[in-house]
Amino acid sequence: EKGLGFSPDAPKPVLLRRLHLDLLGLPPSPDDTARFVADAAPDAYEREVDRLLSLPQYGERW
């Protein structure tokens, strides 16, 4: 009605950086970024969320 649309999806490196900063307070390592970008599975993001939530660094922050 107002001519507004959805924003385009963020690139995978941007999603990973946001996720790391939100959950751990630190940016991802270059190795983490390369691994995540290379993972073409449809559930890659969800698996990365689970992985970060299981790290001790997550518990240290929250």
Handedness of CA 9, 13, 16, 17 (dihedral sign): negative
Q: Is the pLDDT of residue 33 over 90?
A: yes
Global pTM reads 0.85
CB 48 within 8 A of CB 23: no
**How far is it, in rounded angstroms, from Cα 41 to Cα 50?**
15
Mean pLDDT of 27-54: 98
Label residue 12 by pLDDT band (50, 70, 90).
very high
Please check whether residue 18 is in contact with residue 51, taking contact to mean a CB–CB distance below 8 angstroms: no
